Structure 1
């Protein structure tokens, strides 16, 4: 054997030994037949071992993440080298509204006007690498001039603010791994974004490197998924799949998936990782309950499978423990159910001269009186109650009755309709039966608006609050009370089916006893005063939501649709499961490579700059507490 071959063999052996040492204690093998093509393009264990063996000195934890003004921020050459390793996928962040500005001043142009006119279009916004729904917490530093935040003192200009410095437009797992390792090596804040459909600012952060998974659009129907406690139909969905795409796949193959109501929400990101309630929750539980396997890149760059037999603690945590927390999920396998018929109902009602506000609330009480009955039939309702021009506007976005014919649905609602008729309720319901859930969902849930001048808070009302007549009256008064004081409402009626509390995953235990999920929200105009907006925001957190919490002690709320500064969020989002989640976070991400607002382990960090005096600004340094 030639000397060069011997040296090569020794070098290869060193790689293998290092790989074995480095991956000790973890089942890192990902079977190629269980992967999409973009996942097959990943760093091998030998390549990862080489990366780790190059580090002569262990990283010394730093007080704060590294920022562009710091001396150890990567050089331009290092960023160029990263882009080369990413095959040109690195994007220097440019806020979407920058087209409305030139040399720091606002300009008038057809492009800017078009952007302004369509700013609330979620389909357009999610196609941008930086756009996020929670723009308030970014600082609103680059908005179309018409929406410039006067209440924040913002002049009509454009700055990067809390948007990430760079974005990786990921089209392979290898690119995700390289990005994670780069952020870890340079102590840079790392964020993950698919659609930006996020009320909690988890996909934004000053000085961050963002991994954008939106273009990972692979999907697959599996006629028979076998093993690990399940033998049946399933789907494999990549990280960029949106709800409407998942439901289209389901309809094509004559199956049903437990997913969300928002059309352009990412299916396997923060939605399902946060638990994921669904129009089908009353019969089949939470979306996270039906995850069969997960492919994920962890904080040390490993690409692994988490399942009932592989990396079981991570499998438990990701199913309900929160997104942007344990790793970057590239795909999931999801259990599929048979195709079912469904009946839906939609209607609006508005108060006026012939339908007083007193009658409106009496009609609402008649409805809420039977929440347990409707949920136990398997129904789900999503509706809003809003202040509009001095009147109360109520729209039932969709009342969904799975496995129910139109005839049976009308029979079940006949007593309520009779009460409403006696009260003179002005409503003309659209009731329709469909032979599959996907079509009923498509008609029943219009595309969600991309709202940005709002804040919200929320709470679960357990069964005991609504089946007892006295408790129900007190709960109803508390909900009406915050509306009368200026809040708007988004309301849900559903349950988790019997036995769901025995499912062993990280879903908030408070979900299992929910009968009403209530959200309060406030809105304002960008030109409103700082004092006005501040008071609205403070009312949510410090006045109104505490009333609901006092009535529902020991319950919680949904992390994905909660108060940005939810007090005691560990209990509210996770209940008794939090300590286990925190321990898993420390095991898999001891260096806090992954951070997100109100995510597991986030209490170890803080942002000291504030918006409106009480909202942590994502446009500030992230430092250890």
Structure 2
């Protein structure tokens, strides 16, 4: 929604009409250079405010209404620097409400036509990712301003940021970083909003939207540092998975990169900073393992190249070391691979096959028993476990014929038949993986509110404790008599054929078999006490059951419970101490922040999920 700053009528950040007369700079696009940490300068950083909570002293980011909040003149200068691309943040559902109440004041927002558009598209992934600040899953926005048929319903900004820079150039990103640092503001970097755990939203924040960075530049033979000489592609920060797969398929011959399974995931930002897994991961490792170079902007506002030769420590950290932790990525250069003929298959067990829970869970357990076998034969498998619904869609066999996939899966199918477990199985061959992807992978449904957790099971877990894993699945599915949990599973092994990692990812992933995402729906309008109760169930019942059934000690940075105990070890293992030191080196002030990422131990979001503060006693 294109409401400009001129629409905001409040004393704290009123932007006068004179804004239109400000002369906008037009500097040439900068070129990243080999800046090292020795050249970083944080001397212009803003002062912190203070707070005390339960006897603990905090130094906090600056928020609207406080003495440190930037003046109108400062916001005007920022808007001029970003060439008029600073916007008041309007949540996507606000157009269905008469009034939006924000920390800066109130706006009249109702628009019947736009409200109809919101209601029609609330479950449309691309619609959300194209919005300046929308989150595909709404829990971490505080479920504010949802679409409604009653325009008088309350609508507040919730945990959204207050301003957003719709960046189209690197200078716009730098201006946002510099402004946040100089004024001690909470800074959020948002690409698509495809975010399970709230890292691309934050109360009172300045948001930098990088979604317009859509450049794709193909490289036939990479000759940069690191010794790799094959095909590559440079991808802008806003490019999504389906976009790059479409572009690769149009090449002659077709090529692919390691993307996520969901079409709307942005590749070059938080995805690769969290490792990045998808259908090619068993064969080629994480997306992070396939990065050749980054162009980025540091917390001090410096343009940098990070690769095997320039800033190699930053290069390593950006590859799986945590989203929003070390620098803002402008582009990533990744390896490409020839696309291959592929075969896919689906399998379903649901209420059309059985109403017996013992039969249902026996089918799930039989499948999982064979999961080591599947990944050891180079497969990727995506599956879902919902109440009386077990969906494998799909088995992915890249570079394999239908006969080869049938041979791999047949022992599993034979066991189902021997046990008399009814099911539906289908298989289909495709000329390329791309064709398989378009046909068999499904988009995700946004707009709901839920807590997310998860855990990885390794080869040993499956081989020695498959029964314990299935018991844990049952706990997740029914964690309490009044609750229902959901699961999304992924069979892959980033160590298959390439056991040595060159990224900051947890070493335990190199013997992985199954990564499970746990989901606990949260009713809209839940009180703080209800939310705390559900968080406790997710952490200490659902995910605890998975942890107890496993020896891996590992989970995935972007799709797991950020409030779990020992998140440092569970996300990064032995790599964590190095990552923490690098975070202190490249961002000592905490200009960037995302929950449960390296170096954030002293940071807390206090005052009921609003103010971001750092403990002063640590």
Question: Is 1:133 matched with 2:136?
Answer: yes
How far apart in 1 are the matches of 2:522 and 2:47? 45
The structural deviation recorded for 1:602 is: 1.8
Go from structure 1 to structure 2 and tell me whether the alpha carbon gap of 1:219 and 1:352 turns closer, same or farther (over 3 Å shift): closer
Following the alignment from structure 1 to structure 2, what is the Cα–Cα distance between the partners of residues 39 and 289?
A: 35
Q: Map of 1:119-130 to 2, 5 A cutoff?
A: 119-130=122-133
1:457 to 442, 453, 460: 453
2:364, 2:120 → 1: CA distance? Answer: 36
User: 1:590 is matched with which residue?
Assistant: 588
Q: Deviations over 1:249-275 (max 9, x none)?
A: 221221121111000110111111110
**Is 1:507 aligned with 2:474?**
no
Q: Residue in 2 aligned with 1:163?
A: 160
Instruction: Tell me the distance in 2 between the aligned counterparts of 1:251 and 1:189.
Output: 40
Q: Does 1:181 align with 2:178?
A: yes
Structure 2: gaps spanning 5 or more residues: 1-25, 34-38, 50-58, 101-107
Q: Which moved more, 1:400-409 or 1:109-118?
A: 109-118
Pick the structure with more helix per residue: 1
Question: CA 1:309–1:557 in 2, change beyond 3 Å: closer, same or farther?
Answer: same
1:605 to 603, 606, 609: 603
Matches within 5 A, 1:107-256: 109-145=112-148, 156-228=153-225, 229-253=227-251, 254-256=254-256
| Superposed CA RMSD | 2.7
Distance in 2 between the 1:43 and 1:86 partners?
A: 18
> Cα deviations across residues 327-380 of structure 1 (Å, max 9, x unaligned)?
110001100112212111124321368552211222222212211111111001
- Which deviates the most, 342-351 or 578-587? 342-351
Q: Hey, what's the Cα distance between the residues in 2 that align with 1:568 and 1:609? A: 24
Q: Is the contact between residue 92 and residue 166 of structure 1 (CA under 8 Å) also seen in structure 2? A: yes
What does residue range 298-447 of structure 1 map to in structure 2 within 5 Å? 298-351=298-351, 354=354, 356-387=356-387, 392-447=388-443
Q: Where in structure 2 are the equivalents of 1:442-521 lying within 5 Å?
A: 442-468=438-464, 471-485=465-479, 486-498=484-496, 500-521=498-519
- SS of 2:130's equivalent in the other structure is coil
Name which of structure 1's ranges 213-222 and 483-492 shifts more when overlaid on structure 2. 483-492
Which secondary structure does the structure 2 equivalent of 1:84 belong to? helix
| CA displacement at 1:421 relative to structure 2 | 3.2
Matches of 2:40 and 2:594, distance apart in 1? 25
Report the CA distance between 1:280 and its aligned residue.
1.3
* Whole-angstrom CA distance in 1 between matches of 2:82 and 2:438: 37
The worse-fitting range, judged by mean Cα deviation, of 64-73 and 523-532 is 523-532
Partner of 1:620: 611
Matched, 1:95 2:91: yes
Give the distance between the partners of 2:47 and 2:156, measured in 1 at CA: 32
Q: Tell me the equivalent position of 1:33.
A: none
**TM-score normalised to structure 2 length:** 0.86
Q: Structure 2 vs 1, CA of residues 557 and 449 (structure 1 numbering), >3 Å: closer, same or farther?
A: same
Report deviation, 1:292. 0.2
| Offset at residue 478 of structure 1 (A) | 1.9
| In structure 2, distance between residues paired with 1:424 and 1:529 | 46
| Per-residue Cα deviation, 1:300-323 (whole angstroms, up to 9, x for no partner) | 111110000000000000001011
Q: Assess, with a 3 A threshold, how the Cα gap between structure 1 residues 461 and 414 changes in structure 2: closer, same or farther.
A: same
Mapped to 1, the partners of 2:363 and 2:541 lie a distance apart of: 27
User: What secondary structure sits across from 1:558 in the alignment?
Assistant: coil
Deviation at 1:503, TM superposition (A): 2.3
Query: Does structure 2 conserve the Cα–Cα contact (< 8 Å) formed by 1:134 and 1:198?
Result: yes
* 1:381-407: CA deviation from partner (whole Å, max 9, x where unpaired): 1111112xxxx0122221111111012
1:40-62 residue CA offsets vs partner (Å, 9 max, x unmatched): 612899xxxxx999x98775555
Question: Aligned pair in 2 of structure 1 residues 481, 261: CA closer, same or farther (>3 Å)?
Answer: same
**3-state DSSP of counterpart to 2:558:** helix
Taking a change above 3 Å as real, the CA distance of residues 181 and 240 of structure 1, as seen in their structure-2 partners, is: same
Match in the other structure for 1:48:
none
Could you give the per-residue CA deviations for residues 441-482 of structure 1, whole angstroms, max 9, x where no partner exists?
Answer: 1212111111422112111111111122xx222222222233
Equivalent position of 1:21 in the other structure = none
Partner of 2:565: 567
